[in-house]
Amino acid sequence: MRMKLYQLEIKRTNGSVKGHIVAPTEERAAELVFELFKPDNPEGNDFALERVDEILPADRRVGLDDLLEHASVGIASYSQPIGWVGHVAPVPELRLFRIDDTKGGQTFIIAPNADVASAIYISTAPLGKGEYKLFRIFDGLTDLPAERVMNLKSLLEFGPVGIATFHEQNGWSVH
């Protein structure tokens, strides 16, 4: 059965969060919202779902057909370099990864697992023939100062996946 992609917006007292749900019907998408967010967030009753898989622009369709044909019911997000990614069960929440390369560079990536984080990282700087890139992946929350946690919780809840950058004024953003 081909799934559909719904945009979700949950309105909360401190603002709203947006994400995407893969489900066969709008009713099943709504059930998933209650399954995942109602127990921890009683105020999560006020939400809106809109089907978006048929109206996405061409530049936001990378990986969409594969996602809708093969993904399980769950949360998904879009990353510019690799396209649509389903957040794998049993834990749909995303994680913050820190990637350290051998040249001393450090990159933060929000992704459902280390494999997707690695794919995002590698896709940002394509390698030429015979070139290679050595790096290590760490839990990005380890050793992260408390003042840098700011808006991280809402990004880890719905995403999107991608390269994460911290700004002193606004907190974390993903591009």
Residue 158 pLDDT grade (very low, low, confident, very high; cuts 50, 70, 90): confident
Asked if residue 155 lies in contact with residue 94, where contact means CB atoms within 8 angstroms, the answer is: yes
Residue 26 pLDDT grade (very low, low, confident, very high; cuts 50, 70, 90): very high
Q: How many whole angstroms from its chain centre is CA 17?
A: 12
Residue 157 has pLDDT above 70, yes or no: yes
Single out the residue of 60, 91, 63, 95 nearest to residue 75, CA to CA: 91
Residue 44 pLDDT grade (very low, low, confident, very high; cuts 50, 70, 90): very low
- The Cα 35–Cα 106 span in angstroms is 36
Identify any residues that bridge with 171 across adjacent strands, giving them in sequence order.
167
**Does the model's pTM come out above 0.75?**
no
The pLDDT tens digits of the residues spanning 73-132 come to 889 999 887 899 988 655 557 899 999 988 888 999 999 888 889 889 988 877 788 888
CA atoms within 13 A on the CB side of 141: 10
Asked if residue 63 lies in contact with residue 85, where contact means CB atoms within 8 angstroms, the answer is: yes
- The Cα 27–Cα 23 span in angstroms is 9
Mean pLDDT, all residues of the chain: 86
Single out the residue of 113, 5, 130, 26 nearest to residue 68, CA to CA: 5
Q: How many whole angstroms from its chain centre is CA 151?
A: 14
- The Cα 75–Cα 7 span in angstroms is 10
CA distances from 46 to 11, 17, 19, 156, 159 (A): 6, 11, 14, 20, 19
Single out the residue of 158, 155, 160 nearest to residue 172, CA to CA: 155
